[in-house]
Amino acid sequence: MRSRENVTSGGAVLWLFQRVSGIYLAVVLFAHVWLLHFLLREDLSFAAVSERLATPLWKTIDISFLVVALFHGLYGLWIVLEDYIHWGWARIFLYSAISLVALVALVLGILTILPFQGGF
Amino acid sequence: MRALQRYRIHLGTAAWILHRLSGLALILYLLVHIWVIHHLIGGRESFDGIMEFFNNPLAKALEIGLVGVILYHLWNGLRVTLVDIGVMVERQKQVFGVAVVLWLVSWGMVAYAMLTRTGGLLSAIARIGGGGLS
């Protein structure tokens, strides 16, 4: 058993979030692949996708999926890079680059999901 | 140097390296996926056009490989989480074995479905065989 002494630092919170988000992604990804590849037994068309995205429930699920997947992935990338990049300026550059990529992908994803409304 | 000489690739180390590599591959896929799906913004023609671009045997085969990478990262991630929270640590080897079996079985099931479903890999190959390379 691990000691619980260090669980108050910021790193520990992020560590916990990486595990919890991983479990969340496992569940939502299963639903995502199941729905898109096996329930909709047809090629994915604009009509099929926009109809699904027009429902508030799917919009919420897909946006949460986007946010959590980006965070889990790019925070994971940061952990990996931290092991190999030791110079201060290089870390700052990479941290900025990862944050920028995250922001662009997040905005692009939300702009994709959000506009759909009923009656398409 | 001595530390380097003593360094051996254990199963756990290999699993850890594969976890990092699969994670890196999945980030790249996620970013490409967001870029592909953003074609929804351009409307029906734009989206159906990009989806048609990926409607070929190579893309569908790569998709089956992608599922394998995802499922590896998923099952190994759950295994690592169990170790981290101290569950079944004394049975780590068995847990590892179960994770590998679950990975291969789940990948096999999804791969079979992706091969045989309407619009899947086999029908994409048949489409080329029947309709010529157009």
**CA A76, CA A99: separation in Å to the nearest integer?**
13
What does each of the 134 residues of chain B score in pLDDT, given as a tens digit? 555 555 566 888 889 999 999 999 999 999 999 999 999 999 999 999 998 899 889 999 999 999 999 999 999 999 999 988 888 888 888 999 999 999 999 999 999 988 888 778 888 888 877 654 44
Q: Is the pTM of this model over 0.90?
A: no
Cβ within 8 Å, pair A37-B51: no
**C-alpha R_g of chain A:** 18
Cβ within 8 Å, pair B27-A2: no
**CA B48, CA B39: separation in Å to the nearest integer?**
9
**CA B85, CA B69: separation in Å to the nearest integer?**
24
**CA A56, CA A48: separation in Å to the nearest integer?**
15
* Cβ neighbours for A17, distance < 8 A, ≥ 6 positions apart: A71, A75
Contact A94, A61 (CB under 8 A): no
- B37 half-sphere exposure, CB direction, 13 A CA radius: 22
Instruction: Report the residue of B27, B38, B66 to disrupt the A interface, i.e. the one with the largest count of A CBs within 10 Å.
Output: B27
Place of tokens 């360094």: B7
Q: Which residues of B touch A70 (CB under 8 A)?
A: 30
Q: Which residues of A touch B89 (CB under 8 A)?
A: 1
CB atoms within 10 A of CB B112: 12
**CA A79, CA A18: separation in Å to the nearest integer?**
11
Look at residue A78 and give its three-state secondary structure. helix
**CA B126, CA B108: separation in Å to the nearest integer?**
21
**Closest chain B C-alpha to A89 CA, distance in angstroms:** 23
Global ipTM: 0.85
Contact B39, B47 (CB under 8 A): yes
Q: Which of B48, B50, B11, B44 is nearest to B32 (CA)?
A: B50
What does each of the 120 residues of chain A score in pLDDT, given as a tens digit? 444 444 455 678 888 899 999 999 999 998 888 888 777 766 678 888 888 888 899 999 999 999 999 999 999 999 999 899 888 899 999 999 999 999 999 999 999 999 887 544
